């Protein structure tokens, strides 16, 4: 019997050593004596990849044979990071691969560092997509991730004279060992042109779109292997190519440059990731990207469905399509076009299929991040999709007016077209209308969705919005990044937690066990030493691993309030200098994160952090009681070093603005204590971890809304708080920017003014809470007890749990065991 599924390979060191050598020899053409470290990295990836492929083929065949329902996760971003350790760990090959390489005198840890960090995303939303891909594989939910194969991912950040500099990222420069180009899986994507109505006798009129421009979307597949290699899913990323790569006519007539222009124009679509995660700039190229990957993914989904079934009527029974925010929302119109125009399905039936197939996740309520597109741009680029949106809107408005009795004001709030800002398509409303389920990413965020952005649509469709609190994969964010802690946990409670992370709860009873606590603290110290070494190497700054490591790492944004953190740092600096005799608790303030290149305020905040760091770190008066470091180029790989090394996790966003947060979960899982506001998933962390084990401060979301409505101003608050006043004055008077004393005048001024982000409003409570942490540090047994409780109680925040809920409530897909979770 012919089968391409070989016998399972042996996983011993001998076999792996031989296979790595074979890859080095026959795939890379190198001998052990001339091989460089990157050759070993490639050879190791290829050897490990073979094992993934075995499981991949088996998984694909099983899903095909059983006609299982598939989940298609459409996301403009997948912030994956490195894959080698993930693969080795999930396949249970850590020891044999390490030993195998050791035979050639090669260190696996060093090999791993050479893999480029795939940064096809901005931040939380993209990293969530990557965690979800891993969890779907680990929980055996058949899934495809669909996205864009950007040639240049998220920019590399350097700091020059304190300021952010953006450099191009080039992850594909030396090839990508994980991907498979599928030249046969390619679709034409149209742009522009005209729509004509075709009338044939006895048939309803048909619309035919003749695009002016066409490009090809070519699939590149990466296998995503789940825990214990049980199941492998596919991440399918689209790359743009010209249909006719060189215009032969032009080429032959000697216009060699002109002949290549078209391919440049086509390939530009997937050249670079937009580096903004909170402000829509509205460039045409971005809309092209959105449509390009949406259309390619839908054509692929439809084609695959028709390979098995003879009709699209049962599409929603066999596929669930999740829209990761509104970036793929044009999919709603595009699927309608495919169903109605191409496959001749009647409009109402097509709409039923569409709604049953799609669901949509919202990740932000910030008005400036909500996507809308000018009608004229949409119409020019996607004329047929624009018509379809008008038709959907007409149905929606008719229903709202006639069946639900909405008035004009309410109608204009639910309309897919914003008439107030020069007529724009609202992508949020489109995604909502085209989906059977819409979800927020934390309990608080979901409630706020119902009250704010989607208030009127929620009234119209009160069943549609539900909550799915985010999670993070414990494989990457505990097992792989903190192996020593896992060993310790296993000694205490056995290995069960590796297959069911909620069993971490059994660790709770060790929180009061002094000897366990000490070992827990010893692991934390070793992780801090490792981070200290990175800081020393990259910044030539010594930080004492015995001090509190107080860490804020995330995108730089006003609402995330890195500014609040650095003002508190300045106030602490002032206090240490004015009362040197007091018993100050040594602290290291660690910052990292990127600002969108066009976001001036965020770039100023980075500059300020670096200016403050320079002054404080050089001041002998603080005697190493306080250090400030900004580690450049925050990415997934750096996060894997940082998360296990934190004592304090800063989650201090203005309440109501952080949809969920996921860094908060990674820190707490690794035993950091959170100082945070009642925002996003912090609220649920408080419920799980308990109020005694987390440090909550500040205004609630409701209080923030009220303060804003009541015209809150910072100045009167600042007058009443000498610490804040002094810190702010030193920042605005150039104490940290002597060569440019006015540099921070407007940044500081914004606090005196309307203090939109409630920094002045929350300062005093933040300061007081930090001092409670200082005090707690003196009672290390108590601190460590709390840290153990954090790790023990964070199991619920696994993305396996999130995926289980999506599978059960929204997708109705995945193994029976998952769909039956309570
Ligand atoms: C439209 C464009 C400007 C845009 C691009 C990216 C808008 C938003 C984004 C990304 C948003 C994002 O990353 N949101 C984050 O999603 C995480 C996962 O749900 C949340 O944990 C986090 O609170 C939220 O800010």
**Coil, helix or strand at residue 416:** coil
Is 201 among the domain residues? yes
Overall domain count for the chain: 3
Its ipTM equals 0.99
Listed in order, strand segments (DSSP E) in 98-212 are 118-120, 143-148, 156-160, 163-167, 180-191, 194-198, 206-210
CA distance 169 to 772: 42
CA distance 24 to 37: 11
Is 430 among the domain residues? yes
CA distance 218 to 266: 12
The pLDDT confidence band at residue 816, using thresholds 50, 70 and 90, is confident
- 342 and 354 in a common domain: yes
Is 722 among the domain residues? yes
**Coil, helix or strand at residue 164:** strand
Is 511 among the domain residues? no
Is 484 among the domain residues? no
For ligand 1, the distance from its centroid to the CA atom of residue 127, given in whole angstroms, is 10
Q: In testing the pocket of ligand 1, which one of 135, 278, 444 has its CB within 8 Å of the most ligand atoms?
A: 278
Pocket of ligand 1 (CB under 6 A): 122-125, 128, 276-277, 279-280, 363-364, 369, 371, 441, 470, 658-662, 680
For ligand 1, the distance from its centroid to the CA atom of residue 366, given in whole angstroms, is 10
Is 489 among the domain residues? no
Q: In testing the pocket of ligand 1, which one of 369, 448, 680, 682 has its CB within 8 Å of the most ligand atoms?
A: 369
Nearest CA to ligand 1 atom 3: 280
Q: Is the pLDDT of residue 459 over 50?
A: yes
- 759 and 813 in a common domain: no
- 416 and 278 in a common domain: yes
- 137 and 26 in a common domain: no
Q: How far apart are the first and last CA of the chain?
A: 43
- 722 and 577 in a common domain: yes
pLDDT digits (tens, 9 = 90+) for 503-556: 999 999 999 999 999 999 999 999 999 999 999 999 999 999 999 999 999 999
Nearest CA to ligand 1 atom 6: 277
- 457 and 539 in a common domain: no
- Report CA dihedral (669, 674, 677, 679) to the nearest 10 degrees: 0
For ligand 1, the distance from its centroid to the CA atom of residue 147, given in whole angstroms, is 16
For ligand 1, the distance from its centroid to the CA atom of residue 465, given in whole angstroms, is 18
The pLDDT confidence band at residue 6, using thresholds 50, 70 and 90, is low
For ligand 1, the distance from its centroid to the CA atom of residue 123, given in whole angstroms, is 7
- 48 and 4 in a common domain: yes
- 164 and 102 in a common domain: no
Flag the least confident range among 253-267, 427-441, 470-484, 668-682.
Answer: 253-267
Is 772 among the domain residues? yes
- 130 and 111 in a common domain: no
Find the CATH number of the domain harbouring 221.
3.40.50.2000
Q: Which residues are catalytic?
A: 363, 554-555, 560, 662, 666
Q: Are strands 163-167 and 156-160 parallel, antiparallel or unpaired?
A: antiparallel
The pLDDT confidence band at residue 819, using thresholds 50, 70 and 90, is confident
pLDDT digits (tens, 9 = 90+) for 785-813: 999 999 999 999 999 999 999 999 999 99
CA distance 424 to 287: 13
In ligand 1, the atom with minimum distance to the C-alpha of 274 is 5
Nearest CA to ligand 1 atom 10: 277
- 310 and 372 in a common domain: yes
pLDDT digits (tens, 9 = 90+) for 576-601: 999 999 999 999 999 999 999 999 99
Cα 400 to the center of its chain, rounded Å: 35
Is 478 among the domain residues? no
Domain, as residue range, for 146: 67-82+117-469+805-819
**Coil, helix or strand at residue 626:** strand
- 654 and 773 in a common domain: yes
In ligand 1, the atom with minimum distance to the C-alpha of 361 is 19
CA distance 292 to 269: 8
- 351 and 417 in a common domain: yes
Question: In which element (H, E) is residue 543 found?
Answer: none
Q: In testing the pocket of ligand 1, which one of 122, 123, 125 has its CB within 8 Å of the most ligand atoms?
A: 125
Could you give the C-alpha distances from 540 to 122, 532, 536, 794, in angstroms and in order? 28, 10, 4, 35
């Amino acid at each position: 019997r012919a089968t391409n599924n070989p016998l399972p390979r042996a996983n011993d060191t001998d076999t792996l050593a031989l296979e790595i050598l074979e890859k080095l020899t026959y795939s890379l053409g190198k001998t052990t004596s001339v091989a460089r470290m990157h050759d070993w990295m490639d050879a190791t990836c290829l050897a490990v990849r073979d094992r993934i492929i075995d499981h991949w083929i088996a998984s694909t065949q099983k899903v095909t044979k059983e006609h299982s329902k598939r989940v298609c996760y459409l996301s403009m971003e997948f912030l994956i990071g490195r894959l080698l350790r993930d693969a080795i760990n999930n396949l249970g090959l850590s020891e044999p691969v390490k030993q195998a390489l050791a035979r050639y005198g090669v260190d696996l840890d060093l090999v791993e560092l050479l893999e480029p960090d795939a940064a096809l995303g901005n931040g939380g939303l993209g990293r969530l997509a990557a965690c979800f891909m891993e969890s779907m594989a680990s929980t055996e939910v058949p899934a495809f991730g669909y996205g864009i194969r950007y040639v240049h991912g998220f920019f590399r950040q350097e700091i020059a004279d304190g300021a952010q500099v953006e450099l191009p990222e080039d992850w594909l420069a030396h090839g990508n060992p994980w991907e498979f180009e599928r030249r046969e899986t390619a679709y034409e994507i149209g742009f522009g042109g005209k729509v004509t109505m075709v009338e044939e006798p006895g048939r309803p009129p048909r619309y035919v779109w003749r695009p002016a421009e066409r490009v090809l979307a070519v699939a590149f597949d990466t296998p995503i292997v789940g825990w214990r290699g049980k199941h492998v899913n596919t991440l399918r990323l689209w790359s743009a190519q010209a249909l006719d790569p060189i215009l032969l006519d032009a080429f032959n007539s000697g216009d060699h440059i002109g002949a290549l222009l078209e391919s440049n124009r086509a390939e530009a679509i997937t050249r670079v990731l937009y580096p903004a995660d909170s402000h829509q700039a509205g460039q045409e190229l971005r809309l092209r990207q959105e449509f390009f990957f949406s259309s390619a993914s839908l054509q692929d989904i439809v084609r695959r469905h028709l390979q098995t079934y003879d009709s699209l009527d049962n599409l929603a029974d066999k596929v669930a399509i999740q829209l990761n925010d509104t970036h793929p929302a044009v999919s709603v119109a595009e699927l309608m076009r495919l169903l109605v125009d191409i496959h001749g399905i009647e409009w109402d039936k097509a709409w039923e299929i569409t709604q049953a197939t799609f669901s949509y996740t919202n990740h932000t309520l910030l008005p400036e991040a909500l996507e809308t597109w000018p009608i004229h741009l949409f119409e020019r680029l996607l004329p047929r999709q624009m018509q379809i949106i008008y038709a959907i809107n007409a149905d929606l408005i008719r229903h709202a007016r006639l069946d639900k009795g909405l008035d004009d004001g309410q109608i204009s709030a639910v309309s897919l077209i914003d008439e107030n800002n020069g007529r724009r398509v609202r992508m949020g409303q489109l995604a909502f209308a085209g989906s059977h389920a819409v979800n927020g990413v934390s309990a608080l965020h979901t409630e706020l969705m119902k009250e704010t952005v989607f208030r009127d649509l929620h009234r119209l469709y009160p069943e549609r919005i539900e909550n799915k609190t985010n999670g993070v994969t414990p494989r990457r964010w505990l097992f792989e990044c903190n192996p020593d802690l896992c060993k310790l946990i296993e000694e205490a409670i056995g290995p069960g937690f590796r297959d069911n992370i909620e069993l971490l709860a059994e660790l709770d009873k060790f929180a009061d066990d002094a000897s366990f606590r000490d070992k827990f603290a010893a692991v934390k110290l070793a992780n801090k030493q490792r981070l200290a070494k990175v800081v020393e190497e990259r910044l030539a700054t010594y930080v004492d691993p015995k001090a509190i490591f107080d860490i804020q790492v995330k995108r730089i944004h006003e609402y995330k309030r890195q500014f609040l953190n650095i003002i508190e740092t300045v106030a602490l600096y002032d206090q240490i200098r004015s009362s040197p005799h007091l018993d100050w608790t040594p602290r290291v303030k660690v910052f990292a994160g990127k600002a969108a290149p066009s976001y001036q305020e965020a770039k100023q905040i980075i500059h300020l952090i670096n200016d403050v760091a320079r002054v404080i770190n050089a001041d002998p008066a603080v005697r190493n009681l306080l250090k400030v470091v900004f580690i450049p180029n925050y990415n997934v790989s750096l996060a894997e070093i940082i998360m296990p090394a934190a004592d304090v996790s800063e989650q201090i966003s203005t309440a109501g603005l952080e949809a969920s947060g996921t860094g908060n979960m990674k820190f707490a899982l690794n035993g950091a204590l959170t100082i945070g506001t009642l925002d996003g998933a912090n609220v649920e962390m408080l419920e799980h971890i308990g109020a005694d084990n987390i440090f909550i401060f500040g205004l609630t979301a409701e209080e923030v809304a009220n303060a804003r409505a009541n015209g809150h101003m910072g100045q009167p608050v600042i007058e009443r708080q000498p610490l804040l006043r002094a810190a702010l004055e030193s920042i605005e008077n150039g104490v940290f920017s002597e060569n440019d004393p006015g540099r921070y005048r407007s940044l500081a001024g914004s606090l005196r003014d309307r203090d939109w982000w409630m920094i002045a409003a929350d300062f005093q409570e933040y300061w007081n809470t930090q001092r409670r942490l200082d005090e707690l540090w003196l009672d290390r047994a108590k601190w460590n007890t709390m840290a153990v409780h954090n790790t023990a109680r964070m199991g619920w925040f696994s993305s396996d749990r999130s995926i289980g809920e999506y599978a059960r409530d929204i997708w109705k897909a995945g193994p029976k065991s998952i769909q039956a979770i309570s």
